Structure 1
């Protein structure tokens, strides 16, 4: 795991009112056996070392205006979420093969979830990916996502738990 990711997660959790759950080795192994593209080792380490699965975060997605601080709720994925969004649902089904891994859900039900470009290494960019753009990975990459953080460490550094 990248040292700056470790530091950002630990800082985020230190200021949290609540936490999620760590993921057991058995659950990770079962998930890995079901995925068409396995998760990178550093992502597995993050999910098993820190109580992130199911953690609700507030993240600054918009510019603050008046009483609105620009933060939106995001829920870090559970094992079940990662499987579903990677193997059963679009856009994940289309972009997993392009080097993306599922990170978090939009708990409002809007369907515009969050993925990391794990092909970039152990501190990848984070994107909000729109659910209704296409079922073709390259089209989703071109027209259906917006970068919300230049790195995973930036994502956890800006998030409030």
Structure 2
């Protein structure tokens, strides 16, 4: 597993969104992107994070950013999650974990002494040239937009 760093080229990817349509990094060429990886639809932290980004979606657009979420959940799960919370951006169903592995966020985790494989909640801010400009691996789920704005002086 390669550890990505600020300044690295963002790994190219292609996946399927909540509508079953192909979406890839190349679709955001020339645009800035907030690419966030989250463990599971409809869990408290993931819902808070997604809703925080969504509540500020118009501000993201004004600042020239698109937002894209990625988790191992299914297309159907993403569709329900997006509809339930009125999310305005796409969610990629990374069921084979290829995107998460390319970004180094599919890893061993531990809860109550039990080890398992899962998504490390991480956000990558990618510039219009596909270069990673910032990485957030300690995400403040309820205040993620502010966290990104402050760190990047936006």
Does the pair score TM above 0.5? no
Higher strand share: 2
Higher RCO (CA < 8 A, seq sep 6+): 2
TM-score, normalised by the number of residues in structure 1: 0.32
